[in-house]
Amino acid sequence: MEIKNETVVFLGDFGIMSPVYFKERAMRLDKVIEENLKTTRKEMKRLFLMKKVKVDGLVEMDQHRNVDSRLHRIEVNGKVLQAKHVYYLLNKPAGVVTAKKDPKFRTVTELISPKERPAELYPVGRLDRDTTGLLLLTDNGQLGYELLRPDSKVNKTYRATINALVTIDDVAAFAEGIEFHGGIRCRPAKLIILTANSSYSEVLLTIKEGKFHQVKKMFLARGKKVIKLTRLTMGPLRLPTDLKSGDYRPLTETELNQLKIYFR
């Protein structure tokens, strides 16, 4: 199925994968202004020459610049033509599903106040129902695509409690690339042992992909079971230590700028 000018982001839980389509909004700056203000070419040129066009608060002289609708704020004569998207950083609690709607369980989007929840708000990626930690929610489908596409290799770090002794051999196996049942091989991952004994271990794991139940399956392939899992990072984003479970906040300007740099 071909979907033109749209981004497909797959969301779901319990192995149910459903596509969500977001219309892309990236286009040339002069086209954005033309569509919003119905200007002539002569008027367009004058706006740029008089330095009346700003992108993210800075004067922009290149009318052919491609505008990224993920993050940019466009102003002409002080009028905002393209509002910013919303970006929420959520500390996901256990028992809540990473989905927009679910017939049985409360969803992560329902943790966002209705007053702050746009109609097209979606979680970027997914965490299992019993997994906690950092989750990004946005109405920006293009950013979701950048974070989730297979070749993006976005780092994601988890803290995990394992029901067995994690060894140096496990560290080496993860660095080689764990192979699942059926011959599916993961990319090399960085495993750091924090504490370890015969009954349980605490580890940090950084992966660069997002296969279904990946962290749990990686440890199962080593004969071990994950009993607690928390995501700490995703790309440049970090789970704030002062953000309580179930709470959320908008991304800061610093975090938004980090995302811009990350995907240049």
CA atoms of 53 and 200, how far apart (whole Å): 59
Q: Which helix (H) or strand (E) holds 229?
A: strand 226-234
Cα distances from 128 to residues 44, 102, 162, 203, 231, in angstroms, run: 50, 14, 16, 18, 11
List the one residue out of 151, 256, 135, 124 whose CA is nearest residue 209. Answer: 151
Catalytic-residue membership of 247: no
Which amino acid does the sequence have at 29?
L
Q: What is the greatest pairwise CA distance in the chain?
A: 76
The β-bridge relationship of strands 226-234 and 190-196 is unpaired
CB atoms within 10 A of CB 231: 22
Strand partners, 136: 89
**Annotated catalytic residue within 128, 139, 151, 170:** 128
Catalytic residue ranges: 128
